[in-house]
Amino acid sequence: MVEEWRDVKGYEGLYQVSNLGNVKRVGKATGATVGRIISGWKQKGYILCALWNHRKSEKCQVHRLVAEAFLPNPQNLPQVNHKDENKSNNCVDNLEWCDAKYNSNFGTRTERSSIGKWKKVNQYTIDGRFVKTWLSGKDAVENGFSQSGISNCCRGIIKTSGGFVWRFA
C-alpha cells in the first residue's frame, strides 16, 4: 500500500496523518523539525501522540486521527474498531467506525476477558473420591450441572450439588 498523507482535523497546516498510521509535522508548531514522523507512545495498547498548537498540547489516539482523515462516517458513529484486534495496527484497512456495543462485543474480546476470571473447580463423589478438574464452573454447567449449585458448594454454603461435592481447585 502506498502511503498517503492528509491533514489532521483541527491541525490543518501543522500535522498530517497517513493511511498507514504515521503522524508528521508539516508546519512550525513549537519550533520542532518539520516533516519528521512523530514518535508516539503506548497506553493500554493504543498508540498516542502529542499534537501542539499555540503552545498547548493535546494527547491524541492515532487510530482516531487515521479514521477521521480517511474513513467516511455518515452515521456519525462514535468509536473506531481495530478489525484484527491489534490496538497498535493503525493502518486504515484495519479500522472501522462503530458504536460502543459493536466495539465491546467484536471478535474474541468477551472470550479473552473471561479467561482471566475462570476458576478451576474439582468434582468429588459424595464419599470424597476425586472425579475431575473442570476449567471453570461454566464448563461443568455446559455439561449439565447447576452453576448456582457449584458456586454455593465451592463457597461452603451447601455441601453437595448434582450428587457431587465441588471445591475450587
- Positive/negative CA dihedral, 68, 71, 73, 76: negative
CA distances from 123 to 52, 100, 114 (A): 60, 39, 21
Return d(Cα 61, Cα 44) in angstroms, integer: 11
- For the segment 69-122, what is each residue's pLDDT rounded down to a tens digit? 999 999 999 999 999 989 999 999 999 999 988 888 777 665 555 555 668 899
Global pTM reads: 0.64
Choose among 93, 98, 94: nearest CA to 75: 98
Instruction: Supply the pLDDT for residue 70.
Output: 97
Surface-to-core class of residue 49, CB atoms within 10 Å of its CB (0-12 exposed, 13-18 middle, 19+ buried): buried
pLDDT for residue 29 is more than 90: no
How many residues appear in the chain? 169
Given the C-alpha cell 490496538, which residue does it identify? 87
